[in-house]
Amino acid sequence: MARYFDVHPDNPQPRSIAQVVALLRDDAVIAYPTDSSYALGCRLDNPQGADRIRKIRNLDERHHFTLVCADFAQLGQLVHLDNAPFRAVRAVTPGPYTFILPATKEVPRRLAHPKKKTVGVRIPDHPVVKALLEELGEPMLSSTLLLPGAEQPMTDGWQIKEELDHVVDAVIDAGECGLDPSTVVDWSEGYPEVVRVGAGDPSPFEA
């Protein structure tokens, strides 16, 4: 049964955040709010975390997971950034964007795309995620909480608790945070290609 945390969307209670992070360090999978929609998350080195998220969402191994970072310093350790993507990513973060970039050796091989050796990274702009990442002290593996057959991500924390009670370990409810997942920009070939239009304005990356 998942633990349920009702937190303030702008000033999340430190005690609740600390309790969730303790669960993450104990290899929990959580549902949490972002600046685009709710997401599923776990620690990068959680041995079963990625497979659990794939099972919940019915994803195959080619799915790009997102590594959610607190800041540019963390992001820069996980992906290779040339000058052009560096400037472009910096201009719109933190914000509702995910960037697909070549992974560094810091990324566990099982989390990168099996052929392209790429991974998605993002720096969200939501007080709850910022507090989680600050307390955790490391990036988090993440994927939009979009269930199989659904057209939109889940938005109601209590409904998420009821629906996923036996497949996640904790649900953070900070009220509704939007229906649109992040806008995804693939920069793995050296130029930007918008592969999913979501909450972030795609125009800076369109020719």
> Tens digit of pLDDT for each residue in 87-114?
999 999 999 999 999 999 999 888 888 8
- Whether the predicted pLDDT of 63 surpasses 90: no
Whole-model pTM: value is 0.94
| Average confidence (pLDDT) over 150-172 | 93
| Average confidence (pLDDT) over 26-36 | 96
Domains and CATH numbers, the chain: 3-205 (3.90.870.10)
Most confident of 27-41, 55-69, 99-113, 171-185: 27-41
pLDDT confidence bin for 32, thresholds 50/70/90: very high
Percentage of the chain surpassing pLDDT 90? Answer: 83
pLDDT of residue 53: 96
pLDDT of residue 162: 95
- Under DSSP, the state recorded for 205 is G
pLDDT of residue 109: 87
pLDDT-wise least confident of 14-23, 165-174, 177-186: 177-186
Helices vs. strands in the chain: H and E counts, helices first: 6, 10
- Whether the predicted pLDDT of 46 surpasses 80: yes
Q: How far apart are CA 161 and CA 169, in angstroms?
A: 10
Q: How far apart are CA 206 and CA 126, in angstroms?
A: 25
Which CB contacts under 8 angstroms, 24+ apart, belong to 70-77?
A: 70/123, 70/130, 70/133, 70/134, 70/139, 71/123, 72/123, 74/138, 74/139, 75/121, 75/123, 75/139, 77/104, 77/106
Q: What is the pLDDT of residues 126-137, one digit of tens each?
A: 999 999 999 999
pLDDT of residue 152: 85
pLDDT confidence bin for 153, thresholds 50/70/90: confident
Q: Give all strands (DSSP E) within 15-105, no chain letters.
A: 30-33, 38-43, 66-68, 97-102
